[in-house]
Structure 1
Amino acid sequence: MGLIKEVLLLPFAPVRGSGWAIGQVLREAERIYYDPATVRAELARLEEQLEAGEITEEEFDRQEDELLDRLEIALRSGDTTGDGTR
């Protein structure tokens, strides 16, 4: 039965392959997005922008809250080491 199923589903192989590739890209993007080292680097850049007068205090507070939320999620999930690796 497995061979017949594969033969019947063969025309859909490109779609299944594309779905797998999209899933892999999404997982890697999420890993980078929630990586504690990445978030900490973005917090440091945000601080530099505030000190240089490139952003307002309100914009700093808004972006800092978003970054701290990401960092909390990353640390709560516990699937990263915080040094840019898994």
Structure 2
Amino acid sequence: MGLISGLFGLPLAPARGVVWVAERLQEEAERQYYDPGTIRRDLQAVAAARDEGSISEEEAAELERELVARLLEGNARRRKGG
């Protein structure tokens, strides 16, 4: 980067920093959202809630479908390398 382009780009530095932080936050949120361990714990919690009767069979089935979809999506993302 040359001196002139560096000087003209300087006012944008805070915005670039904010974008960088936002990207890191998104990456971490997605990592946690698709984490297999977290999903398995959530599946166990759904099973326990169903067993104790605090949620219906239909609610449990819907939650399990969503969690399995997240697990499959997370596996596909890891295979792609992202």
How would you bin the TM-score normalised by the shorter chain?
Answer: 0.7 to 0.9
Unaligned runs of 5+ in 1: 80-86
2:39 aligns with 39
User: What letter matches 1:20 in structure 2?
Assistant: W
Q: Give deviations 1:5-50, integer Å, cap 9, x for gaps.
A: 1210111111110000000000011011101111111100111111
Q: TM-score, normalised by structure 2?
A: 0.87
Aligned-residue CA RMSD (Å): 1.3
Q: Report the equivalent of 1:30.
A: 30
CA distance in 2, matches of 1:64, 1:57: 10
Residue 76 of structure 1 and its aligned partner are, at CA, apart by: 2.5
Q: What residue identity is the alignment partner of 1:14?
A: P
> Where is the helix percentage greater, Structure 1 or Structure 2?
2
Tell me which amino acid in the other structure corresponds to 1:38.
T
Report the TM-score when normalising by structure 1: 0.84
- Of structures 1 and 2, the one with the larger relative CO (CA 8 A, separation 6+) is 1
Shift of 1:78: 2.9
| C-alpha distance in 2 between matches for 1:66 and 1:42 | 11
- State the one-letter code of the partner of 1:48: A
Identity %: 41
Count of aligned residue pairs for this structure pair: 79
Residue 67 of structure 2 aligns to which amino acid in structure 1? Answer: L
Runs of 4+, deviation exceeding 3 Å: none
